[in-house]
């Protein structure tokens, strides 16, 4: 196997990465038992899609965690989800979309828009940017994220409404998990990599939010996060 290089955002707060998608890919690679080398990038601007993670593999640069996983699954036949039935695959896909396309944007709102949280987050997310450039980059980056939130639709809501959306998502994940060790049963699969990457970035980051409080109050979710951290 030629070297697989993963470009990711930095670690912080005891998390391997402040990006749920970078952490998702790292966990999936462990599940797939594929060796890799990580390169930490200060910003995503040099990435193929201007987002992290991306990989370098066999002369290709591939962006987006889901497309990366599709590529590696096709190339190596890793079989992380081989045990799932068609119905389970459908449920896993829906849960992944809930986490990555909805709950993720609640987390983004809390990090980038809520002023008291932004003061904590900016020094981490922009820590690799030269100090002289940091104030300018901060303004431009924050403006861009606000525009993304509005484009998604969640940015049109009031703060309490956004948090209500996030709490419903957390409740749905907790209810689906129930007493199972992993979302689809006895073994972790790709959807666990996605959901864990997001949940731990909510529950274990020093960002104040009612969504975090709700997650911390759910014993089955916190036990799940702990199990996934050990995968």
Domain holding 59, by residue range, is 4-76
Confidence at residue 44, expressed as pLDDT on a 0 to 100 scale? 82
38 is a domain residue: yes
Same domain, 113 and 138: yes
Same domain, 184 and 220: yes
Residues of the chain above pLDDT 70, percent: 100
Same domain, 107 and 193: yes
Mean pLDDT, the chain, rounded, equals 94
81 is a domain residue: no
For residues 1 and 185, the model is more confident at 185
pLDDT grade for 176, boundaries at 50, 70 and 90: very high
Q: Which of 53, 76, 99 marks a domain boundary?
A: 76
Same domain, 93 and 194: yes
Q: Which of 76, 105, 122 marks a domain boundary?
A: 76
Q: How many CB atoms lie within 10 A of CB 173?
A: 22
| pLDDT (average), residues 134-158 | 94
Same domain, 116 and 221: yes
Confidence at residue 180, expressed as pLDDT on a 0 to 100 scale? 98
Same domain, 68 and 112: no
User: What token pair was written down for 62?
Assistant: 């591939």
Same domain, 98 and 202: yes
125 is a domain residue: yes
The CATH number covering residue 17 comes to 3.40.30.10
Confidence at residue 128, expressed as pLDDT on a 0 to 100 scale? 79
79 exposure class (CB count in 10 Å sphere: 0-12, 13-18, 19+): exposed
Distance of CA 189 to the CA centre of its chain: 15
Tell me the per-residue pLDDT of 16-62, one tens digit each, with 9 for 90 and over.
899 999 999 999 999 999 999 999 987 788 899 989 999 999 999 99
pLDDT grade for 131, boundaries at 50, 70 and 90: confident
Same domain, 214 and 182: yes
The CATH number covering residue 222 comes to 1.20.1050.10
Same domain, 144 and 51: no
For residue 2, pLDDT over 80 is answered with no
Same domain, 114 and 222: yes
The sign one gets for the Cα dihedral 29, 186, 225, 49 is positive
pLDDT grade for 1, boundaries at 50, 70 and 90: low
């Amino acid at each position: 196997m030629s070297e697989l290089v993963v470009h990711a955002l930095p670690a912080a707060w005891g998390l391997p990465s402040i990006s749920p998608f970078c952490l998702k890919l790292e966990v999936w690679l462990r599940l797939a038992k594929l060796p890799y080398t990580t390169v930490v990038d200060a910003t995503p601007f040099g990435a193929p899609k201007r987002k992290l993670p991306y990989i370098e593999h066999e002369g290709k640069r591939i962006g987006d965690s889901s497309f990366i996983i599709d590529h590696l699954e096709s190339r190596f036949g890793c079989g992380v989800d081989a045990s799932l039935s068609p119905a389970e695959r459908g449920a896993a896909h829906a849960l992944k979309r809930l986490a990555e396309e909805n709950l993720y944007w609640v987390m983004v709102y809390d990090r980038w828009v809520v002023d008291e949280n932004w003061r904590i987050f900016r020094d981490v997310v922009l820590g690799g940017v030269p100090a002289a450039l940091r104030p300018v980059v901060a303004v431009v980056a924050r403006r861009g994220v606000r525009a993304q939130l509005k484009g998604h639709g969640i940015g049109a809501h009031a703060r309490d409404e956004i948090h209500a959306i996030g709490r419903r998502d957390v409740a749905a994940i907790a209810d689906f998990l129930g007493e199972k060790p992993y979302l689809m049963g006895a073994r972790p699969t790709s959807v666990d990599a996605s959901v864990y990457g997001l949940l731990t970035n909510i529950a274990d980051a020093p960002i104040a939010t009612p969504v975090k409080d709700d997650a911390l109050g759910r014993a089955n979710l916190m036990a799940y996060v702990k199990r996934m951290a050990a995968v």
